[in-house]
Amino acid sequence: MSNAVTEQIDDHLWSAIGDPTRRRMLDLLLIDGDGTATTLGQQLPVTRQAVAKHLGVLERVGLVRATPAGREKRYRVDDAQLARAVAQLSSVGAAWDARLHRIKRIAEAIQRTQQD
């Protein structure tokens, strides 16, 4: 990966997104608009305490924002941070596409020389 691409990657952000439970939580929050640890816990196969810890990770990397709602917090996906994650993924994808295209050209060149 080029230095320009690797410098754009936020490892903490991708570590947070890398967990399947947190990705499912983001999906649920995007579908529902917002949610609490309790409402998310009802839709996931983990305890409410585990949900709260996962939400803490997502909040630390800025993927969700919490607002007080009585005794609980309501969480909502931060659209700007999600867009940043999408841009990083697109950048990494483009870099890998370029690498694979180069490998294909090299393999085709080797094949042509072997046929001659």
65 touches 59 (CB < 8 A): yes
Alpha carbons 33 and 6: distance in angstroms, whole number:
32
For 92-111, the pLDDT digits (tens) are 777 788 888 889 889 888 88
Banded model confidence at residue 9, pLDDT cuts 50, 70, 90: low
Residue 58 burial (10 A CB sphere; 0-12, 13-18, 19+): buried
> For residue 48, what are the CA distances in angstroms to 9, 41, 66, 71, 115?
31, 5, 16, 14, 63
For 48-75, the pLDDT digits (tens) are 999 999 999 999 999 999 999 999 999 9
For 42-53, the pLDDT digits (tens) are 999 999 999 999
Between the two ends of the chain, the Cα-to-Cα distance in Å is: 34
